[in-house]
Amino acid sequence: MCGIIGYVGPRQVMPILLEGLKAQEYRGYDSAGIAVLEDDAIRLIRSKGKIAVLEKKIGSAYGSATIGIGHTRWATHGSPTDTNSHPHLDCKNEIAVVHNGIIENYLELRNWLLKKGHVFASQTDTEVLPHLLEEFYDGDLLAAMMQTVSKLHGSYATVALCKHDPQKLVAARRDNPLIIGLGDGEYYFASDMAALIEYTREMLILQNGDIAEMTPDGVRVFNDGAEVERQIQHISWSKKAAQKGGYKHFMLKEIHEQPWALGQTLKGRIAADEKAVELKELEFSPEYLRSIDKVVMVACGTAYHAGLVGKAIMEKLLRLPVDVEIASEFQHKEPIIDQRTLAVVISQSGETIDSLYAMRECRERGAKIIAICNVLDSTIAREADYVLYTWAGPEIAVASTKAYITQLMLLYMLTFYLAEQLGKMSGEQLQPLISQLYRLPEKVEQTITQLEAPIKRIARGMKTWEDAFFIGRGLDYAVSLEGALKLKEISYIHAEAYAAGELKHGTIALIVPDVPVMAICTQREPMPRMISNIVELQARGAFVVGVTWADQKDVIKVSDKALLLPEVDELLAPILTVVPLQLLAYYAAVAKKCNVDQPRNLAKSVTVL
């Protein structure tokens, strides 16, 4: 939700903080700030707006400081203003703190601190942290942090800097990510590895309850009062992977990366004879497999949409009931889950707090948990019983593209794996599907190559669109939901997805001349009904773009424009159909001159409830 950076070492800190913030701006971009220790005092610079505004405010006055912290914010408590920006200070301007998460009991703590004479400057929950540290500081910042976190309810990744400990940063985390980068005599804190890859590939991932102390001599990690060892992770992806690589936006780069990303997801997981999917990460006993009577998927946003595709294919091939739940809603029900339930949590970041809490609820009720994650060693990945990584590389654009397509890929793979393990399908039956699945990266490449230019042309006319509709049946409806979300979130065009058969139950009232409708038509059984729906829409003047196969002459005939997909088994169609919808959203946002990678009010990873 917010991005944190911290540095201790021999170098001038200011450029390191600014670069670290820029690399994490996608996590939050309504305000930013830094605090460095210079000439025996904390120098604080904060600004509403993007990091570029902060950079301008700092100007060339980088100073000589070699220790500091920085923060890029997505506002929760207190609107985005200079004063609400992080870092926050204690009463004496001696302790500076950055924080990602929400301190749920901040009002109670604030009242307690006010009674003790502390004076608050902002409306944020975070500001209780420097005041608590001030209250507990007795010459030992680490001890003060230990006491501080013992008072907190909620989630946090926080780093503190104290004027009296000029060579030290102290941090703590619970339910929000915090990474330590290990250099040679220099050390870093960040919310995301992407911010550190330029400096080091050796990283430590702090775990829940960890408190870390960092000096130029090294890093010490404590949990429950005792010093603990955390394994060093060697990060293999390149700096280039976290940069735009010649593309105008991260989103476009990530759309184009999808064939590669799918290849990464498939790598080492398909048997040589293509008759089986091999998921070595899953070690299910035959007894456990026989006991599963239900699958529950929990996720948010795009990952939830991937789950809807997963439900359709699993129910079809496994004949098991599958529930897909919006993670934030899941917490408000009494889910019917027990030891016979297999829970699948889908999350690109592995840090979405709604998904994390829903996963814990599943665990408490006895379910075994598979996490489908992209970010290595993220909280959800770590807490799940099994992890299937998508291996899609860093996804920087707020709008999820390659994460969705690789989540779909894993859901297909998991379904085929379970189909074989549960004896629902033989290797012979699976082979034609697995073989096509294995070749999907090429088909996605072909889809991008063939459709990008026509979509650009359609998008030029989208500047004037106010509303758009996406319709489909079955698997096509699941993908329509994702198409509508993509368009809304980056182009701000109001978009709705409907099961095509539902139109006549109300929505068709919204169809007026020229309103655009994306009609997804890949499922053959409901095709005649889709054609009727298109005709009904056109009778009311809609502009219909059909997304279909080249052999669907009737769809092509009735549509105003047709976008044709390379042929694959219709069961696998979602992996192709989403591509033109992503491109359409992208080019619509470009035509409207929107900020594609950092749409308003959003952040990449939602680590608050």
Q: Is 162 a catalytic residue?
A: no
Residue type, position 18, single letter: L
User: Cβ-count burial of 260 within 10 angstroms (0-12 exposed, 13-18 middle, 19+ buried)?
Assistant: middle
For β-strands 187-190 and 202-205, DSSP reports them as unpaired
Only one of the segments 131-139, 298-306, 460-468, 532-540 lies at the binding site for ligand AGP (rule: CB under 6 A); that segment is: 298-306
Contact between 365 and 335 under an 8 Å Cβ cutoff? The reply is yes
Q: Is the dihedral of CA 583, 588, 593, 599 positive or negative?
A: negative
Cα 560 from Cα 445, distance rounded (Å) = 25
Instruction: Give the CB-side neighbour count of residue 384, counting CA atoms within 13 A.
Output: 30
> In sequence order, what E strands does 332-392 have?
341-347, 368-373, 386-389
- Least distance to ligand AGP from the beta carbon of 245, Å? 20
CB of 293: closest distance to ligand AGP in angstroms? 27
Choice from 96, 195, 242, 398 touching ligand AGP (CB under 6 A): 398
The nearest distance, CB 328 to ligand AGP, in angstroms, is 10
The window from 397-405, 455-463, 553-561, 590-598 that contacts ligand AGP (CB under 6 A) reads: 397-405
Of 214 and 242, the one with the shorter C-beta distance to ligand AGP is: 242
437-476: contacts with ligand AGP (CB under 6 A) = none
Size, binding site for ligand AGP by CB under 6 A: 15
Q: Which residues of 335-356 are buried (b: 16+ CB within 10 A; e: fewer)?
A: bebeeebbbbbbbbbbbbbbbb
Stretch that binds ligand AGP, among 91-99, 128-136, 294-302, 562-570 (CB under 6 A): 294-302
Q: Is 605 in the site for ligand AGP (CB under 6 A)?
A: yes
> With binding defined as CB under 6 A, does residue 345 bind ligand AGP?
no
User: Among 2, 300, 373, 521, which one carries the catalytic annotation?
Assistant: 2
Please report how the helices 402-421 and 574-591 are oriented relative to each other, as an axis angle in degrees rounded to 10.
170
If binding is defined by CB under 6 A, does position 548 make contact with ligand AGP? no
Out of 51, 170, 606, 608, the residue judged to bind ligand AGP by CB under 6 A: 606
By CB atoms closer than 10 A (0-12, 13-18, 19+), residue 136 is middle
Active-site residue, selected from the candidate residues 22, 253, 368, 604: 604
Other Cβ atoms less than 10 A from the Cβ of 246: the count is 8
CB 367 within 8 A of CB 306: no
Catalytic residue at 91?
no
Name the minimum Å distance from CB 77 to ligand AGP: 20
Per-position x/- string for 482-501, each x denoting binding to ligand AGP as judged by CB under 6 A, each - no binding: -------x------------
CB of 400 to ligand AGP, least distance (A): 4
For residues 275 and 556, what is the distance between their CA atoms, to the nearest angstrom? 35
What is the DSSP secondary structure assignment for residue 81, as one 8-state letter? -
Per CB under 6 A, does 480 bind ligand AGP? Answer: no
Cα distances from 392 to residues 199, 267, 481, in angstroms, run 22, 11, 22
Report d(CA 235, CA 366) in Å as an integer.
Answer: 34
Distance in angstroms (rounded) separating the CA atoms of residues 147 and 143:
6
Should residue 399 be labelled a site residue for ligand AGP when binding is judged by CB under 6 A? yes
Contacts of 139 (CB under 8 A, 6+ apart): 164
Site map 348..387 versus ligand AGP, x via CB under 6 A: xx--x--x--------------------------------
- The residue from 3, 6, 301, 526 that contacts ligand AGP (CB under 6 A) is 301
**Which positions from 198 to 237 touch ligand AGP by CB under 6 A, shown as an x/- string?**
----------------------------------------
Q: Is 302 in the site for ligand AGP (CB under 6 A)?
A: yes
How many angstroms separate the CA atoms of 373 and 380, rounded?
Answer: 8
User: Whose Cβ is closer to ligand AGP: residue 171's or residue 399's?
Assistant: 399
| Residue of 303, 322, 405, 440 interacting with ligand AGP (CB under 6 A) | 303
**Of 100, 347, 379, 447, the one binding ligand AGP by CB under 6 A:** 347
CB of 547 to ligand AGP, least distance (A): 19
Report yes or no: 163 and 40 within 8 Å, Cβ to Cβ.
Answer: yes
Using rule CB under 6 A, residue 300 touches ligand AGP: yes
Q: Which distant-in-sequence residues (6+ apart) come within 8 Å of 333 by Cβ?
A: none
**Residue (352 or 598) nearer to ligand AGP, CB:** 352
| Sequence-ordered list of residues with C-beta below 8 angstroms from that of 59, at least 6 positions apart, any chain | none
- Which residue in the shown chain puts its C-beta closest to ligand AGP? 301
- Taking CB under 6 A as the binding criterion, the range among 19-27, 124-132, 278-286, 346-354 that sits at the site for ligand AGP is 346-354
**Shortest spacing between CB 586 and ligand AGP, in angstroms:** 12
Q: Could you list the active site residues?
A: 2, 604
The footprint of ligand AGP (CB under 6 A) covers 300-303, 347-349, 352, 355, 398-400, 489, 605-606
